[in-house]
Each structure stands twice: as C-alpha cells, then as structure tokens.
Amino acid sequence: MLKQRILTALVLAPIMIGGIFYLPLAQFKLFIAAIVTLGAWEWANLSGVKMQVGRIAYAGIVAGLIWLIEFEGLVQEIDVLYLALIWWILAFLLVAAHPKLKGVWSTPVVRMLMGLAILVPMWVGFVQIKSYPFNDYLIMYVMLVVWGADVGAYFAGRTFGKHKLAATVSPGKTWEGVYGGLATTFVIALGGGYLLEEKAGLSLDMTQWALLVVITLAITFVSVVGDLIESMVKRHRGIKDSSNLLPGHGGIMDRIDSMTAALPMFALALTVFGWNLVV
C-alpha cells in the first residue's frame, strides 16, 4: 500500500503542479473541469447510482453545467460562489445534526444535487482565483491552508484528541484536532502576510492583517466541513473510498473533499473584501 501511495504521488504531483501553476487560463479551465468531471463520476456512485452509464451521464451533466456557465452565461460566477456559501452553511447543519436530518439527503436525487453544489463551485473558485494577479501565490496559499489544517489536525488529534467532533460521521476526528488545524493555519496566515509584504511589495495595515487571519481561519473551518460531508455520504453508502482511480489514495473526491469547500469560499472572500491584490 505504501509503495502504491508513493508511486501514485510521484506521478500525480508533476501533473497537478504543471496544470495548476503553468497552464494559461484557457487550458487551466479545461484541466480543472476534467478533475471536477472525474469527481462527478465518483459522486454519482456516492449518490447511489449503480449503473456505469448513469455515473457517466451524471459526470456529463456536471461538465455541461460548467460549459453553460463558461460559454452561455447561464449564471454569473459570483452568484455561483454565493450559492456555494448557502450550501456550505446547510452542509454544516447537516453534519452537526447527523443523523437526525438523514432523511433529508439520503435519497439518490438529493445527493446528486448536493454533488452539483459541491463540485461546480470548486471549478468556479479555481477559475476566479486564477484570473487574479499573483494567482499562483493565491492558489498555493489556499492549498497550504487546507494541507496545513489537515496535518495540524492529524498530529493534534493523535496527541491530545479526547472530544469527538462528529462521532456518527467520522469517529476519528476530534475537537482537539480542529484546534490544532486552526493553530497551524494561523501560523500560515502570518507567513502569508509576511510574504505579501516582503516578496510582493505590498504594505498591509492592521485591518488587512486581521482580514487575512479571519479569512484563513474561516477557510480552515469550512475545509473541515467539506471533509465531513463526504465522510457522511460515504458512510451512508457503505464505502471507504470514493473510487480506486488513485492507487493507494482512493479516489479524486477523497483528495479534494476539503478543497471543494475551501476554494469557492476563499474566492468569494477575495471578491467581497477586495483581496484581489492589485498593485
């Protein structure tokens, strides 16, 4: 298993780094759309779609929605981000109340609708951030926040974990882990602000520093909800991994579950608070 994980990571890392940081915007949109479409194929399975043709059709619907947003102006990208905000508030409530509200989302149709709210805004969030100045810095920053939250939560949870975060959803997660993730991303926020001042030549006042920290901590929290909502659906479906597309790592959704929440919310924060870093 470890050998598989390492080999898969060695193949995936250059692809992801090259796609995210070196592709021009037009090609980048297609690259992220491909990832989202694969995630949609997996989500169809999580939704309870058993036939392969149904899973492919669902992936096609998600890809079609992206096409309609991009080329037909079906809905403004900022509106998609606001809808995502509403969804992640609802997702938090579903996780917090689990299993009391299980009947609300347990049908395949509702879970497929949940998938639209999870996957399409991630594509929009990526595209929005890629269009900003310093886009590579911003994308790397939000990824570091998600990874830092995960690593901090893992070590804090193992060392201090006593109080379950959501026992019926993900028994291994604890509140101490959440606090460890928040502490880690607080440090990342300070480092990110320092790089903005030293490397990008920007001067942040106290309000901007406070915004950076608050946004970072909020993104950390919502990334946890993204992780938990997938865990909740997987547990209901009775499967451990979203697929076996990534040997040793599970599926695409297993790797991007936190990012599906963090990216659109980070993009929305950048838009609402004017953090488009124009110099």
- Confirm whether 277 is domain-assigned: no
In a domain, 93, yes or no: yes
pTM above 0.85, yes or no: yes
Give the DSSP letter string of 55-71: HHHHHHHHHHHHHHHHH
Pull the structure tokens for residue 188: 């990342």
Q: Are strands 170-174 and 164-166 parallel, antiparallel or unpaired?
A: antiparallel
Q: Show Cβ contacts of residue 126 under 8 Å, excluding neighbours closer than 6 positions.
A: 28, 32, 139, 263, 267
- Dihedral of CA 54/56/59/63: which sign? negative
Beta strands in the chain (DSSP E): 164-166, 170-174
Could you report the per-residue pLDDT of 175-194, keeping only the tens digit for each?
Answer: 999 999 999 999 999 998 88
Is residue 157 in a domain?
Answer: yes
Residue 278 domain-assigned (yes or no): no
pLDDT tens readout for residues 125-160: 999 999 888 788 888 899 999 999 999 999 999 999
Residue 87 one-letter amino acid: W
Per DSSP, what are the bridge partners of residue 246? 250
CB contact set of 38 (below 8 Å; sequence gap of 6+):
59, 245, 252
Examine residue 268 and state whether it is found in any structural domain, yes or no.
Answer: yes
Give the whole-angstrom CA distance, residue 125 versus residue 271.
Answer: 11
Is 264 within a domain?
yes
For the chain, percent of residues with pLDDT exceeding 70: 92
Residue 242 has pLDDT above 70, yes or no: yes
How many domains, in total, are found in the chain?
1
Model confidence at 42: pLDDT above 90: yes
**Residues spanned by the domain of 260:** 2-272
